């Protein structure tokens, strides 16, 4: 369990583990990743070519069928990711890295710059593939698909996620 009702969806040696910053309140209450109506994760994943159909949050475990997994860096659900403290990221860092090492994915994809910046200590993080690894996995930083993230259109999200998909399965 990732804590408070939102379970990690992970098995060994996945192509990608998508790492949200932390669960949203609705996702935690429903026990399914990216459950908010405005969240664009499932649509983006499909349009980028990771899944042949758009999965629904209540079918989130099916993501394993496509060699992808789901987790969150910080377990505590909040309404907004900016409600997390740096202390929470610091407290989660060692266990989170150990989790990535244990499951040994090809890529770990951070959804948003904040979590990777906090875990890596980097002040400036670029989008896309990073030069560093995390827990032995290649690192990719993607825009957060939250409906609150108005800086990215659906089309821009799909383009960013498709670049990862092409790196995973050229």
What is the tens place of the pLDDT at every residue in 92-137? 888 999 999 999 999 999 999 988 998 898 989 999 999 999 999 9
pTM of the model: 0.93
Q: Return the CATH fold of 17-168.
A: Uracil-DNA Glycosylase, subunit E (3.40.470)
Predicted confidence (pLDDT) per residue in 8-43, tens digit: 999 999 999 999 888 888 899 999 999 988 899 999
Please tell me the distance from the alpha carbon of residue 82 to that of residue 158, in angstroms, as a whole number.
24
Domain coordinates in residue numbering, the chain: 17-168
Region 52-74: what's the mean pLDDT? 96
Region 139-146: what's the mean pLDDT? 95
Region 53-63: what's the mean pLDDT? 97
Residue 12 tokens read as 């060994």
């Amino acid at each position: 369990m990732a804590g408070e009702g939102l379970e990690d969806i992970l098995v060994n040696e996945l192509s990608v583990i998508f790492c949200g910053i932390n669960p949203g309140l609705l996702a935690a209450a429903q026990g399914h990743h990216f459950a908010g109506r405005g969240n664009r994760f499932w649509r983006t994943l499909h349009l980028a070519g990771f899944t042949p159909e758009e999965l629904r949050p209540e079918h989130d475990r099916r993501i394993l069928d496509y060699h992808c997994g789901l987790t969150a860096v910080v377990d505590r659900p909040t309404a907004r990711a900016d409600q997390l403290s740096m202390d929470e990221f610091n407290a989660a860092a060692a266990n989170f890295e150990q989790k990535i090492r244990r499951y040994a994915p090809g890529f770990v994809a951070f959804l948003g710059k904040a979590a990777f910046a906090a875990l890596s200590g980097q002040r400036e993080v670029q989008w896309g593939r990073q030069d560093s690894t995390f827990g032995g996995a290649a690192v990719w930083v993607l825009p957060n698909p939250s409906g609150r993230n108005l800086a990215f259109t659906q089309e821009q999200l799909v383009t960013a996620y498709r670049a990862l998909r092409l790196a995973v399965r050229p």
